[in-house]
Structure formats: structure tokens, C-alpha cells
Structure 1
Amino acid sequence: HIYIGCGKTSTIKALASYTKRHLVEIPLSRIRTCDELEQAFFLNSYDMTNLDFSNKIIVFEDIDCITSTEGNDVVIHLEQDDIDTKKKKMSKQSLRSLLGEDQTAPKDPLTLSFLLNLIDGIIEQPSRILIMTKFKKCTKSISKEIIEFFFDKTNLVDISQLHDNVHSPANIISACMSSTDGKQTVQLLSEQVLPNVVVEAQHILSYNEQ
């Protein structure tokens, strides 16, 4: 799970800028089959521009749509009497769909295992570097660094009101842009947390009363 505003997009753009490569996004929510993904992955021509793997960074978007589809399968068990009773009221096409015989469904639906096997061949090649990272919300020390860097002040910001793993980097930058100094930024961030604390306290109270 990646929290919004924790730097995924910024990191991707920074890598593209540093390596001087083009970004190619593949939205998995719009890919239906394994064949479509394979074609998109190995495509080397984009709007009359030829790009091989050494000149591009491929970004897979919406990977959650694959895992959610695989993990939330619904199995419907039908008795023969139910089918005999209802099929008179159903069209042949809707009956096929209910029984899992929908002709419009892809024959090779995209799966997470296919995606992993596709990229394994690239990762396992010599000289490849694999970095596993997690984009998390800021600790107090990181929050202090961001605020002091934004206002060009060092060791002058009191962050005692803040907490670890509450604010994203984007949230802190937004608070800085809405404030005149570090003190006001900390105050604004601490006020943003209060509604969440109240809601959580009410939830705990109602749970204990049950």
C-alpha cells in the first residue's frame, strides 16, 4: 500500500530526469489480457518515436486492479432445479454469463503471476539493479527537515506538537505554502490532526459501550 503524497510520482520523474529517459506508463486497469500487456511492454514505437529499453522507464499503474480481481472471486453455486426454473425467464446470453460461459470474456485474462513472470526476465539480467522501497508518511525528524529546508532555517523549528507517521511529504509542503514561517506550519499541521483524533476517540468510546 502506498499513501497518497508520499513521493512515488516525484521519485519516478526524478529518475527519468537523472537518467534522461522517457517515461512510458502502462495503465493495467485498461489491459484485459496477457497478450495485450506483452504487446504494450515490448512496444518500441510511440507516436513515431522509437524507444528501446535503454531509453525508457516503464511504469505500471493501477496494479491493485489485478490483485483485487484475483482475490475477490465470487463463486455462485446453482442447483439444477434453480436453473430449470429460471432459464425460461433468461436469455441464452445472460444464462451463459451466469454459468461462466460469457463469450465476451477474454480467453487469457491478465493475472499478477503473468506480470511478475514478464518482468522477471528483465530483472534477472546481468547488471540490473533491483531496489525495493516503501513510500511512507514522515517521521518527526523528516517533517522538521522539510519545514526547515522550505523556510531556509536550521534548528529553529519546534516540532513537539507533531507525531510520527501522520503527515505525508506533500501534506507538509502544502502546509508550508499556506504559512509564513515554520511555527505557523507546525500549528497548521497539528490542527489538521485534531479532527482525526476526535473521530478515533468517538469510535473507541462507542466500541467500549457495546
Structure 2
Amino acid sequence: MSDQAASDSKEVVFDRLGHLVRSLHDTLREMGADAVLSEAAVEFPSARERLLHIGQLTERAANTVLTRVEECLPVQDRLIARAQALRDAPPSAEETTGFLAEVEQSCVITRAKLSDMMMAQDFQDLTGQLIKKVVTVLERTEQDLLRLLIDAAPPGTISEVKKEELMAGPGAPGSVALEQGDVDDLLADLGF
């Protein structure tokens, strides 16, 4: 395919997409659903911002955990080396007391780092709530678009789906599904 043909093909796709969006917008406005458009226009940027925020929280937590683990490893390595040295030669009372003091200090440091790691995970509750909100926005939009397609479908293009078929794998939510050929015909009837 030549560069010109590829460019023309992209223009056709974008032109068709533009017509589809304009048609959807006009149809919703004619049906009195301007509020749906306004709400969706507000919710989608909000959903995108929420997902970006989740990504930032997740990255921050991962960095905190990795940093704290890296800080704990040398503390633990020193304890291991000191314990091995004491095991290999009978320690004096002074060496044993020094080692116990080092163990205590190392435990305090390690405990603080573990606490930091635990606190870094507090984003989990917040991200779970944000993800649920984004999914709700997407589900509502999907349902609205599906309902619009079903309502605008020519008679005979919608088939009932048995519950067993729904349990067999992915499909349209609910008990109604459009076949791909019917969707193509519907879009063609609408001028797309």
C-alpha cells in the first residue's frame, strides 16, 4: 500500500468516525439527552485523571518499598556476618554484649523500614475506590451506547441469548446481543 493510499485510508476512517460522533451527538441532543453528553464530557477527563493518579500512587509505593528493602539488606548482612564471626570463635562477654546491642539497633532500623513499607501500601484502599469509580463510568457509557444501538436497530437484527450461552464466555451484557453483520448493517443504514 502506498503512502498516499494509507493516508487516504486514514482520512476515510477519521471522516467516518467524525460522522459517527456527530450523528451520535445530534441523536442524543434530539432525544433530549444533552445532559448525558455534558456528564460524559466531564466524567471521561475525570476518569483519565483518576487512572493517572492511581499510576502515580502505585509508582510512589513501589519506589518506597524497593528503597526500604535496599536499605534493610546491608543492616541484615552486617548481622549475618557478625553472627557467623561469633559462632566461629567463642565470644567474650564484651563481644556478646556488643552483638546484642547491634542486634537491637538493627531490629529498630528494620522495624522502621518495614513500617514505612506497610504505610506505602495504604494507597491500595484509595486506588480500589478510584478504580471502581472509573469502571462505573465506563460501564454506564457502555450500557448507554449498547442501549442506543439496540433501540436504533432495525427489526429482526437483535437476537436473544440464552443464559447458558452467556456463561460460556464473553458476550453482550444482559440477554440481548447484536450480531456483527447486524451491527455493520445498522451502521450502514445510518450512513456509516
Report TM bin, short chain.
under 0.3
TM-score by length of 1: 0.23
Structure having the higher strand fraction is 1
TM-score by length of 2: 0.25
Greater Rg by CA: 2
Structure having the higher helix fraction is 2
